[in-house]
């Protein structure tokens, strides 16, 4: 270990190692009722089992006809409601159809009811003649049989339920929720407040952030001491029942930073020790069997930004989801630092239909007020090259 982390891994290289790790331990899938699938990640592509609509349907309440001229009267040969079987239009007649009803075979358009005059129940007079094919929803116009409806890796929300149900799904295969254990450590911490101790904001903050990513937070603990043995004992106890363990604090290089030693005591394999990030340089990732351990700095802003830029991409990769990303135009020129990726908090605005990004100033790695003002994180590469007016990719918060 190098106390100053001079050999810290480049951020891009750290992501590559995390993606490889995720590929080795892809989450299993499980079947859940469609109504319980909101927030879960689809395990397999969902394809259309039939075209939609399954046949030609009326888009209006009106009369299905074939040909015709304005002013002519036609005998009403029948009526079809939505859900009923498709009829056949007799020559020279009209057929009353309600919205969603099958258009009878032989009809070539639907005349809306408001474009007709109906002297009685038996006949209808055409007050206007719509174009050929008007007001007919054609078979398969929404999607054809076999079409990809929802790709695997999609986090399902209310918009997807109708598609799943329309395919006859009762249960649907989703990725198992990653199980996460959170541990905050440090003699300065308290969970009850009072005295000179610092309230532990990291554990609840990270728990909420990771729960939003579809995880199941199985345990959350504040260790209000700097005890290497106690930390190793707790990590060893929670790791077997977790896919991820996220720790904060004790990860740097002072005599009270015991997380690296606790990981060594457990026999954990280090994926990387230190990342060239600001803030977040001490961030360390290790594996303990099938469990991945993220050891993050204790300062709240640094912990949050490491979670967004390291833990969240790893979770997305586990579930086969794309990395969180959005685009915007810079209103400022970010400051680059040699050999370090700078994590710049940004606030979004909308100007002339374009998302613009402005900087959110911070006063250091413990600045939690800056987080509440920001909408995203912009990783500024060590090479620089970003300037006001550039279109860039950032990570939404």
Q: Looking at residue 1, what is its pLDDT?
A: 38
Measured in residues, the chain has a length of 397
Q: What is the β-pairing status of strands 284-288 and 269-273?
A: antiparallel
Q: Tell me which residue of 134, 144, 71 sits closest to 103, measured CA to CA.
A: 134
pLDDT score at 267: 97
Task: Provide mean pLDDT across the span 194-201.
Answer: 72
Let me know whether 200 and 297 are in one domain: yes
Same domain, 288 and 204: yes
Say if residue 48's pLDDT is above 90. Answer: yes
The answer to whether 130 touches 115, Cβ cutoff 8 Å, is yes
100 with 41, same domain? Answer: no
How confident is the model over 86-136, as pLDDT tens digits? 999 999 999 999 999 999 999 999 999 999 987 678 999 999 999 999 999
The SS3 call for residue 302 is helix
Q: pLDDT-derived band of residue 190, with 50, 70 and 90 as boundaries?
A: low
Read off the tokens for 291.
Answer: 């469990």
According to the model, what pLDDT value does residue 61 have? 96
| pLDDT band for position 2 (cuts 50, 70, 90) | very low
Q: Which domain-ending residue is among 137, 163, 187?
A: 137
Question: pLDDT at residue 194 above 90?
Answer: no
Confidence band (pLDDT; 50, 70, 90) for 186? confident
Looking at residue 4, its pLDDT comes to 55
**In-domain check, residue 2:** no
Q: Which helix or strand (DSSP H or E) is residue 184 part of?
A: strand 179-185
Residue with tokens 């911490």: 189
Residue among 44, 46, 50, 45 nearest 143 (CA): 50
CB-facing half-sphere around the CA of 276: CA atoms within 13 A: 18
Q: Indicate which CATH number applies to the domain containing 359.
A: 2.40.340
Residue 362 confidence class, pLDDT cut points 50, 70, 90: very high
Do 259 and 315 fall within a single domain? Answer: yes
> What range does the domain containing 76 cover?
57-137
Q: Is residue 73 part of a domain?
A: yes
Q: Tell me if the bond preceding 149 is cis, omega within 30° of 0.
A: no
Please report the pLDDT score of residue 36 as a whole number. Answer: 93
Is the residue at 383 inside a domain?
yes
H runs (alpha helix) in the chain: 11-24, 158-166, 202-212, 228-238, 259-266, 300-306, 312-319, 368-373
Last residue of a domain, one of 294, 319, 344: 319
Closest residue by Cα to residue 318 from 204, 172, 202, 216: 216
CATH code for position 204:
3.40.980.10
CATH number for the domain spanning 39: value is 3.90.105.10
The confidence score (pLDDT) of residue 221 equals 82
DSSP SS3 for 394: strand
Indicate the range of 28-37, 75-84, 111-120, 208-217 predicted with least confidence.
Answer: 111-120
Environment class of 98 (CB within 10 Å of its CB; exposed 0-12, middle 13-18, buried 19+): middle
Note whether 181 and 315 are same-domain residues.
yes
On average, the pLDDT of the chain sits at: 92
pLDDT at 224 over 80: no
Task: Name the residue with higher pLDDT: 192 or 222.
Answer: 222
Residue 4 belongs to a domain: no
5 pLDDT above the threshold of 70? no
**Out of 68-72, 123-127, 144-148, 319-323, least confident range:** 319-323
Q: Nearest-5° angle of CA 10, CA 302, CA 235? A: 90
Q: For residues 293 and 224, what is the distance between their CA atoms, to the nearest angstrom?
A: 20
Q: Does 354 fall in a domain?
A: yes
Q: Is residue 347 part of a domain?
A: yes
Tally of domains in the chain: 4
Residue 65 has pLDDT above 70, yes or no: yes
Task: Answer left, alpha or beta for residue 33, where phi above 0 means left and psi between -120 and 50 means alpha.
Answer: beta
Q: What is the pLDDT of residue 296?
A: 97
The last residue of one of the domains, among 257, 284, 319, is: 319
Give the confidence band of 225 by pLDDT, cuts at 50, 70, 90.
confident
223/165: higher pLDDT: 165
Instruction: Report residue 216: phi and psi, to 5°.
Output: -115, 110
222 and 341 housed in the same domain = no
Residues 274 and 304 in one domain: yes
Q: Report pLDDT for 171.
A: 95
Give the per-residue pLDDT at 200.
Answer: 84
Question: pLDDT per residue over 308-325, tens digit each?
Answer: 999 999 999 999 888 889
Is 3 part of a structural domain of the chain?
A: no
Please check whether residues 254 and 333 belong to one and the same domain.
Answer: no
Residue 6 maps to a domain: no
Do 281 and 301 sit in the same domain of this protein? Answer: yes
Q: Residue 240 pLDDT > 50, yes or no?
A: yes
Phi, then psi, of 240 in degrees rounded to 5: -60, -25
Give Cβ neighbours of residue 237 (< 8 Å, ≥ 6 apart): none
pTM for the structure as a whole: 0.83
Q: Per residue in 111-121, is it b (16+ CB within 10 Å) or e — as a string?
A: bbeebbebeee
Provide the β-strand partners of residue 33: 171
Contact (CB, 8 A) for 248 and 202: yes
Domain co-membership, 45 together with 62? no
């Amino acid at each position: 270990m190098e106390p100053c982390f001079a050999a810290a891994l480049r951020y891009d290289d750290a992501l590559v190692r995390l993606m490889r790790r995720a590929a080795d331990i892809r989450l299993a899938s499980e079947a859940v009722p469609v109504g319980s699938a909101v927030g879960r990640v689809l395990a397999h592509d969902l394809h259309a089992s039939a075209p939609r609509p399954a046949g030609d349907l009326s888009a209006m309440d009106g009369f299905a006809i074939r040909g015709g001229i304005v002013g002519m009267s036609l005998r009403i040969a029948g009526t079809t409601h939505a859900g009923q079987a498709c009829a056949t239009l007799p020559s020279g007649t009209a057929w009353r159809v309600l919205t969603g009803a099958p258009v009878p075979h032989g009809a070539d358009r639907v005349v809306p009811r408001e474009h007709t005059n109906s002297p009685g129940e038996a006949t209808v007079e055409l007050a206007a003649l719509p174009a050929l094919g008007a007001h007919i929803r054609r078979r398969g116009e929404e999607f054809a049989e076999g079409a990809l409806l929802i790709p695997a890796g999609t986090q399902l929300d209310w918009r997807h339920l109708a598609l799943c149900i329309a395919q006859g799904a009762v249960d649907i295969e989703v990725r198992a929720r990653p199980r996460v254990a959170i541990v905050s450590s440090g003699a300065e911490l308290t969970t009850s407040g009072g005295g000179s101790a610092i309230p532990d904001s990291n554990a609840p903050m990270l728990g909420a952030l990771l729960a939003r990513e579809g995880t199941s937070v199985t345990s959350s603990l504040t260790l209000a001491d700097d005890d290497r043995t106690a930390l190793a004992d707790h990590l060893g106890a929670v790791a077997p029942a977790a896919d991820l363990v996220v720790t904060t604090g004790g990860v740097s290089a002072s005599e009270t930073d015991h997380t690296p030693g606790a990981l060594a005591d457990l026999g954990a394999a280090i994926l990387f020790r230190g990342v060239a990030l600001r803030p977040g340089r001490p961030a360390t990732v290790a594996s303990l069997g099938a469990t991945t351990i993220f050891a993050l700095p204790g300062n709240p802003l640094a912990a949050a930004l490491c979670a967004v830029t390291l833990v969240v991409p790893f979770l997305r990769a586990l579930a086969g989801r794309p990395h969180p990303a959005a685009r915007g135009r810079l209103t400022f020129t970010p400051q680059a630092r040699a050999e370090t990726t700078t994590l710049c908090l940004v606030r979004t605005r909308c100007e002339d239909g374009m998302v613009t990004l402005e900087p959110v100033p911070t006063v250091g790695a413990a600045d939690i007020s800056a987080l509440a003002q920001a909408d995203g994180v912009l990783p500024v590469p060590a090479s620089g090259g970003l300037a006001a007016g550039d279109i860039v990719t950032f990570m939404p918060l």
